[in-house]
Amino acid sequence: MIKISGLTKSFDNVVAVDHLDLEVGDELFIFLGPNGAGKTTTLKMMTGLLTPDEGTVQLNGISMRDEPLAAKRQFGYAPEQPNLYEKLTPNEFIQFILDIYGAPDQGKARARQLFDIFELSERQHDLIEDLSGGMKKKVSLIAALVHQPKILFLDEPTAALDPKAARHLKDILRGLVRKGVTVFMTTHILEVAETMCDRIAIINKGKLCAIGALDRLRVQYGSGLSLEDLFLKLTGEIYSSKIDEFLQDA
Amino acid sequence: MLPLLLKNVFRTLFANFRGKLVKKKRALLTLLGLAFFPFLIMSQTVDLFSVWMHIPTMGATFVVRFVATSFFAVLVLLCLTSLPSVMHHFFLAPDLSLLRALPINKRTIFLAKFVQVTLGTVGMYVAVGLPLLVSMCLALGAAPSIFAIMLIASLLFIFIPTGLSAIVAFALARLFSVVKMRRLATLILGLFIVVTWAGLQLVRLSRLNPASPDFQPQAVRDFAAWSAPGPLPSDWLVNSLYAATLAQWQTVGLNLAALLLSAAALACLAIVWRVRLDHKDIRMDAGRISKTARDIGTRSFLRPALAMLRKDMQVTRRDSRLLHSSLLLGAMLLVSPFVTSADVGNPGTVGLFMSYMPLTILTLIASSTLARQGLPLERLSLQYVLQAPVSLTSVLMTKIVRALLLIAPFTIVACLITAYKTGTAVPGAALAIAEHLSFVLCGAVTGSVVAVFTTNYAWSDPRYMTNALGAYSSTFIVLAVGAIGMSIIMAGELLGQQMVAFLLFFIYVFLVFWIGLRVSLARFRKLQWT
């Protein structure tokens, strides 16, 4: 359960997130928005990496401001750019994550399962710096999943993943939601959002434009609209004339 | 196409001087720091060479022999510097696949790479090699035109180490994984620098200086009789300049021709071989860490801190830059008793205290330097620690303990060596060790404070997370903190109240630790992880 109210953050007088209110239950919630809309800033405030200028974040009823350590125990986070410790192996990194979350014994078996699912067992003793971008992404996803969090924050989780791994991840997330885990994720791949989400929220210029189940939003903004059409309708124009101009010169 | 590629190479080289002002300032400060080296070397060698010129029957020959021998070391250093660079630029550079996809001849691509690697060694050559040549030319009273020959000869010379390294690298690439070899080459380079530095501290040039009371004529004769296995490019370079000062133009021409032919032959061989290797199976597989991470096996409240510490030690061991700086600082500590204690080890309590002082100063600087690396070594991965359920106090304590663990063993050994050399009794030696470990703690805490205040949390460019102010100010700050501690001990010695002084000293260390930790935490909490 995630509850954020009045969440606001500015950088150099530019409001990145503007009085955002959200409540997310045990569901797969997708947070959409164009580049620079404030998605990652929101995620960073929810995970304690940024202090909000205003507003509060509560994770399973625990306030991030008042009890940060207890709140941080609730979630796993996979950032958009994995940025892992390049000089560790995936095995060492996951062991490190398990140790700092205090779940080493239960976690080892889960780590083995996840390494198998994401086909990393063969590479778990290589240095992370020698892995491909997709493999690094898989390691960061394993790190988010391995300590059995009750909430998952995933920033573009399917970016850089091969189709098989993306499918495995989707299946895992659906299964976890059925078991009562809250999944809060951002994505630019609207097909993923369309097929997976229970509810979506669309943010633009730091403000919430729309929130609800996809079917309800379609009813609200125009039946027959695809998520892409809906997204574009709410967040900005398409430069059709400029594209035509470019194609004429091509 | 070659000029276009070289233009890009130069753009990359000077990339740090473009863009943001902070980046430019940093690059300029680094350049100023490097510019210090040539002046340091020249200040040491110009006078020494002038004195050597007056050694009967062998003055100029002796200077030339010395410079040629030193240049052999420069040649080895440049070869070792080029080796990892060759492996990177010729096999692993991210732009290689793009360049290969462009309509450019492969020989042109690899020639540009050859130049790129060579340009990378120019800084080292200018810092270490060129000042020796300038000093030699000044001592030999060379005409200004000789300096032009020096530049031409240097230009030819610097391609040779790149060529030699390329040949060795390509031979190794046929046998082993390039990735593994690059790591090994970087480690060997670091160890060479550490060992050379330690060796140079023990070399006493005063034995070769007729103006010094330590002068030993036999040492001069031994050195003059020794000859490096030649003929070597370093000899050709030095001989061409010496011959030029004597107006022996035929010898100059021969030596320059030898340099030119060697450089050209090595460059051609390297480029042709690299093009041929494109059709061979080159292994790029990375090294595997055979051990599975072991369980820390401790009570839960300590487990996160120990996990962070283990991670930091693993990163330090595997990151060549961090490993080299740790080893270099360790070597400095181990060598310091041999270099300094003989001169100040007077009998008497204060004299004994003074004999430990150089070690104390080095201990403070070393521990603060290592503690200052603690936060930047996290780079962008710090987000995993910050969003985990661990307190910021644990994070900072881990950094301090890391510095303690890395420096304490060297400090203890250096204290024992100093105690042995000064004849300190066992209780005195034990006390000296306790004091120095306390100074390590002071240094580590001070380094952490400086790191929190002066680290650039510039996520876009994590390579330069410690700003220049941090690097320069930390030495002064830690010495000021250490000076108060040393004053307390010194006052105790002078007043004959050692025990009171030691008690006050340990209270002072505790205060430094406590205040340092609080100040760091206050600042750490305010930082924004954008």
**Residue B105: pLDDT above 80?**
yes
**pLDDT top residue among B460 and B5:** B5
CA of A171 vs chain B CAs: smallest distance (Å) = 25
CB contact under 8 A, B289 and A49: no
CATH of the structural domain A1-74+152-157+167-250, one choice from 2.40.10.230, 3.40.50.300, 3.40.50.10440, 3.40.640.10: 3.40.50.300
Residues B230, B233, B239, B240, Cα dihedral to 10°:
150
Which residue in A107, A95, A125 sits closest to B307, CA to CA? Answer: A95
B530 part of contact set with chain A, CB < 8 Å? yes
CB contact under 8 A, B318 and A127: yes
Of B293, B389, B391, which is closest to A92 when you measure between CB atoms? B293
What are the φ and ψ backbone dihedral angles of A230, each rounded to 5 degrees? -60, -45
Which 102-131 residues of chain B touch chain A by CB within 8 A?
A: none
| Helix ranges, B278-348 (H) | 303-318, 320-344
Same domain, B260 and B318: no
d(CA B430, CA B502): 13
Which residue in B177, B168, B167, B169 sits closest to B282, CA to CA? Answer: B177
Of A77, A85, A130, which is closest to B315 when you measure between CB atoms? A85
Tally Cβ neighbours within 10 Å of residue A72. 22
Query: Does any domain span residue B93?
Result: yes
Least confident of B4-18, B71-85, B319-333: B4-18
Same domain, B374 and B490: yes
Number of folded domains that form chain B:
2
Same domain, B135 and B260: yes
What are the φ and ψ backbone dihedral angles of A124, each rounded to 5 degrees? -70, -15
CATH code 3.40.50.300 region(s) in chain A: 1-74+152-157+167-250
Tokens of B379: 């780079």
B376 part of contact set with chain A, CB < 8 Å? no
Query: Does any domain span residue B286?
Result: no
Of B289, B304, B319, which is closest to A89 when you measure between CB atoms? B289
B92 part of contact set with chain A, CB < 8 Å? no
CB contact under 8 A, A87 and B287: no
Strand ranges across the sheet with A28-32: A75-78, A151-155, A182-186, A28-32, A199-204, A207-212
Chain A residues with CB-CB distance to B290 below 8 A? 125
Tally Cβ neighbours within 10 Å of residue A140. 27
Same domain, B113 and B220: yes
Residue matched to tokens 């030690």: B313
Which residue in A83, A242, A11 sits closest to B383, CA to CA? Answer: A83
Same domain, B273 and B307: no
- Report which residue type is found at A20: L
* B156-173: average pLDDT: 93
C-alpha triplet B448, B452, B458: angle, nearest 5° = 135
* B280-306: average pLDDT: 71
Q: Alpha-carbon Rg of chain A, whole angstroms?
A: 19
Chain A residues with CB-CB distance to B530 below 8 A? 11, 41, 44, 50
Q: Are B381 and B312 in contact (CB under 8 A)?
A: no
Task: List all residues 6 or more positions away from B189 whose beta carbon is below 8 Å from its beta carbon.
Answer: B80, B81, B83, B84
Query: Does any domain span residue B414?
Result: yes
Which pLDDT band, with edges at 50, 70 and 90, does B299 fall under? low
Residue matched to tokens 């659906």: A174
Query: Does any domain span residue B285?
Result: no
DSSP-derived pairing of the beta strands A2-11 and A54-59: antiparallel
* B498-523: average pLDDT: 92
B299 part of contact set with chain A, CB < 8 Å? no
Q: Are B284 and B176 in contact (CB under 8 A)?
A: no
Q: Are B486 and B358 in contact (CB under 8 A)?
A: no
CA of A220 vs chain B CAs: smallest distance (Å) = 35
Tally Cβ neighbours within 10 Å of residue B528. 11
CB contact under 8 A, A50 and B528: yes
Least confident of B34-38, B329-333, B425-429, B508-512: B34-38
**pLDDT top residue among B509 and B32:** B509
In angstroms, how far is CA B214 from the centroid of its own chain? 30
- Classified as helix, coil or strand, A210 is strand
Interface of chain A against chain B, CB under 8 Å?
Answer: 11, 41, 44, 47-51, 69-70, 72-73, 75, 77, 79, 81, 83-85, 87-89, 91-92, 95-97, 99-102, 104, 125-127, 129-130, 143
Determine the number of helices (DSSP H) and then strands (DSSP E) in chain A.
10, 10
Chain B residues with CB-CB distance to A95 below 8 A? 293, 307
d(CA B206, CA B196): 18
Interface test with B, best of A41, A51, A85 (most B CBs within 10 A): A85
CB contact under 8 A, B319 and A91: no
Which residue in B367, B347, B338 sits closest to B442, CA to CA? Answer: B367
Residue ranges making up the domain that contains B230: 8-277
Answer with the one of B277, B312, B329 that is the final residue of a domain: B277
Same domain, B354 and B435: yes
Same domain, B267 and B308: no
| Angle between helix B349-373 and helix B426-454 axes, rounded to 10 deg | 30
d(CA B363, CA B370): 11
What are the φ and ψ backbone dihedral angles of A13, each rounded to 5 degrees? 70, 5
Same domain, B221 and B125: yes
Length of chain A as a residue count? 250
Question: pLDDT tens digits for A27-40?
Answer: 999 999 998 889 98
**Residue B177: pLDDT above 80?**
yes
> Per-residue pLDDT for chain A (250 aa), expressed as one digit of tens each?
999 999 999 988 889 999 999 999 999 999 999 988 899 899 999 998 889 999 999 999 999 999 999 999 999 999 998 989 988 999 999 999 999 988 777 788 999 999 999 999 999 998 898 899 999 999 999 999 999 999 999 999 998 899 999 999 999 999 999 999 999 999 888 888 888 899 999 999 899 999 999 888 888 887 777 888 888 888 876 777 888 888 887 7
Question: pLDDT tens digits for B325-384?
Answer: 898 899 889 988 887 655 444 545 566 677 888 899 999 999 999 998 888 888 888 889
Query: Does any domain span residue B283?
Result: no
What are the φ and ψ backbone dihedral angles of B231, each rounded to 5 degrees? -80, 140
Q: Are B99 and B23 in contact (CB under 8 A)?
A: no
Closest-approach residue (CA) in chain B for A10? B530
